[in-house]
Amino acid sequence: DADVTQTPRNRITKTGKRIMLECSQTKGHDRMYWYRQDPGLGLRLIYYSFDVKDINKGEISDGYSVSRQAQAKFSLSLESAIPNQTALYFCATSDLESRAFFGQGTRLTVV
């Protein structure tokens, strides 16, 4: 089983719909992250959390929200999806040496 699991792996949704991407990890790390990856733009940080009571905005948080339900679970929501949120989304955790471990990604298409 993967250490960092993202669901769903692929999703097509319509403009204006609310969607949640889920992430769970078995590594026991406190730090968790959501990134999006776009061709030509690389990985950009959306939100990060250093423990269940700590949530921080990243570089591109507008249009997104997160919930840290437990040490192992960190969800990303798009309240009203728009086409330019079409991207590959990655959840990650990191250890005390800041080595990040990524999930397999969620490919989201907003039509």
Partner 1 sequence: EDQVTQSPEALRLQEGESSSLNCSYTVSGLRGLFWYRQDPGKGPEFLFTLYSAGEEKEKERLKATLTKKESFLHITAPKPEDSATYLCAVQVVGSGYALNFGKGTSLLVTP
**Chain residues in the site for partner 1 (CB under 8 A):** 4, 31, 33, 35, 40-45, 48, 50, 56, 58, 90, 92, 94, 97-105
Q: Based on CB atoms, which residue is closest to partner 1, 2 or 82? A: 2
Tell me the CA end-to-end span of the chain in Å, nearest whole number: 32
- Smallest gap from Cβ 77 to partner 1, in A, equals 19
* Smallest distance, partner 1 to C-beta of residue 80, A: 26
- Supply φ then ψ for residue 8, to 5 degrees: -75, 175
